[in-house]
């Protein structure tokens, strides 16, 4: 370790008390956090400095983020899950039964962040997609979101996922048990050995909870895992900004009589007319109204 200068690095793993970092020179090591105000997350670009007589580095500051994936935690406070990503990949399967409202909120978060989104249907070997599921999935396709069908169990169609992840920094999200980690283990199995070896040497990952990891793919992409969820609600600071999470509703909303139409209770609403005429999927519209209600309640509790 060069003990004379600070270095730039990226957070590639978050543990309970320490971070795994990779410097711009490609060296991987553990780092401690300086003070309680610094709260780095996976994907953060940080400045680190050596600690005398220790192998760990010290994280001095977080560089400005390009974007943040956030959520309302159980205390209705803002929590950052990841930073500097370019794609959100939402994984679904059955079991567990898909919660499409959660899917909507994740791809809505991608829209708010200005990053790509895709949907991965795992466990195709179980033949879980009935006609209703197919209709829902086709709705996502029709509004522009790629849908990939795969099976991590029998290693089917994983190459299609890699095509979409090429040169992207993607975070895999979704309900607990959908197989996010299983997919990631398959597509990154030839490129994550160094990180695993360092974790084993430090006894990290065995005795310490791992919150998130970034793994390199052979095609220039990077993939990040995330803990499974039962629910998810993004941080949106204004109820009127919820419409930006639903591209088809936002597009129809341009035809509304009033610029500040919430598309919920107003008369002469172009969005409600589009729902009635089935140009907008009724379930997606219901999802929009649910998120609108959640954001209104959360913002009231926060302030």
Task: Return the pLDDT at 226.
Answer: 84
Q: Identify the three-state secondary structure at position 119.
A: strand
In this structure, the dihedral spanned by the alpha carbons of residues 226, 228, 230 and 233, taken in order and rounded to 10 degrees, is 10
Q: Nearest 5°: CA angle at 164, between 156 and 66?
A: 140
Residue with tokens 């649910």: 290
The stretches in the chain having pLDDT less than 50 are 1, 193-195, 203-209, 303
Task: Return the pLDDT at 193.
Answer: 45
What whole-number distance in Å separates Cα of residue 261 and Cα of residue 268?
10
* Residue of 125, 120, 156, 154 whose CA lies nearest to 140: 120
CA 257 to chain CA centroid, nearest Å: 35
Q: Spell out the domains of the chain, with CATH numbers in brackets.
A: 7-62 (2.40.50.140), 68-224 (3.40.50.300), 239-302 (1.10.40.50)
pTM (2 d.p.): 0.90
Task: Return the pLDDT at 207.
Answer: 36
Question: Is the Cα dihedral 32, 37, 42, 46 positive or negative?
Answer: negative
* Residue of 173, 296, 164 whose CA lies nearest to 220: 164
The pLDDT tens digits of the residues spanning 167-182 come to: 999 999 999 999 999 9
Query: 142: part of which helix (H) or strand (E)?
Result: helix 131-142
The pLDDT tens digits of the residues spanning 208-220 come to: 445 688 999 999 9
Q: Identify the three-state secondary structure at position 6.
A: coil
Task: Return the pLDDT at 154.
Answer: 97
The pLDDT tens digits of the residues spanning 224-257 come to: 988 778 889 898 888 888 999 999 999 999 999 8
């Amino acid at each position: 370790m060069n003990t004379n200068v600070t270095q730039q690095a990226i957070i590639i793993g978050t543990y309970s008390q320490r971070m795994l970092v990779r410097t711009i020179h490609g060296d991987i090591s553990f780092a401690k956090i300086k003070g309680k105000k610094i709260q780095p997350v996976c994907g953060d670009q940080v400045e680190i400095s050596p600690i005398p007589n220790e192998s760990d580095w010290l994280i001095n500051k977080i560089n400005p983020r390009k974007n943040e994936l956030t959520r309302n935690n159980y205390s209705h406070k803002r929590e950052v899950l990841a930073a500097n990503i370019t794609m959100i990949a939402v994984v679904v399967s059955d079991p567990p039964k898909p919660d499409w409202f959660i899917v909507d909120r994740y791809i809505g978060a991608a829209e708010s962040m200005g990053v790509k989104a895709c949907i991965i249907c795992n466990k195709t070997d179980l033949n879980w997609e009935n006609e209703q599921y197919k209709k829902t999935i086709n709705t996502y396709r029709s509004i522009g979101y790629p849908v990939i069908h795969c099976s991590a169990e029998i290693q089917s169609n994983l190459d299609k996922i890699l095509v979409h992840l090429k040169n992207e920094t993607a975070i895999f999200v979704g309900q607990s048990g959908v197989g996010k980690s299983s997919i990631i283990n398959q597509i990154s199995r030839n490129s994550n050995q160094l990180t695993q070896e360092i974790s084993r040497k430090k006894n990290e990952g065995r005795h310490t909870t791992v919150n998130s990891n970034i793994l390199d793919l052979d095609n220039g992409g990077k993939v990040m895992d995330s803990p499974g969820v039962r629910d998810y609600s993004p941080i949106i600071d204004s109820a009127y900004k919820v419409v930006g999470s639903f591209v088809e509703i936002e597009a129809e909303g341009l035809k509304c009589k009033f610029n500040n139409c919430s598309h919920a209770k107003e008369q002469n609403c172009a969005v409600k007319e589009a729902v009635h005429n089935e140009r907008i999927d009724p379930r997606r519209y219901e999802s929009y109204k649910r998120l609108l209600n959640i954001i209104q309640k959360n913002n009231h509790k926060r302030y």
